Amino acid sequence: MFRVITPGFEEHYERWTDALNQANSLIPNCKGLFKDIRIYYGKNLIWLYSRSHKYPQYIGAGIYDKLAQLFITEAMAEAATQNPNVEKDD
């Protein structure tokens, strides 16, 4: 389970893409130097946005690759549920 946390907001998500979309939507509200947006996977911090860095940071060895694979898996599952008549290559 993923958790998005920022001052005044905390929400839990089952899917990485939902957590990432929520965190990205909170970026315009992150105006103070001491405010940040964090995504946790379980108890582990995996994503961090703050004003002190130009781009969000992925925390942990190999986490970017793992999250990219998870993103692709979730996108394929979502496409399969939206287009059940599309033939799959086996």
Predicted pLDDT at 78 = 87
Residue at token pair 């089952």: 14
Q: Mean pLDDT throughout 53-65?
A: 87
Helix, strand or coil, per DSSP, at residue 46:
strand
Predicted pLDDT at 87 = 60
Q: What's the token pair of residue 52? A: 């002190």
Report yes or no: 78 and 84 within 8 Å, Cβ to Cβ: no
Report yes or no: 46 and 63 within 8 Å, Cβ to Cβ: yes
List pLDDT tens digits, range 2-51.
Answer: 999 999 999 999 999 999 999 999 998 888 878 899 999 999 999 999 98
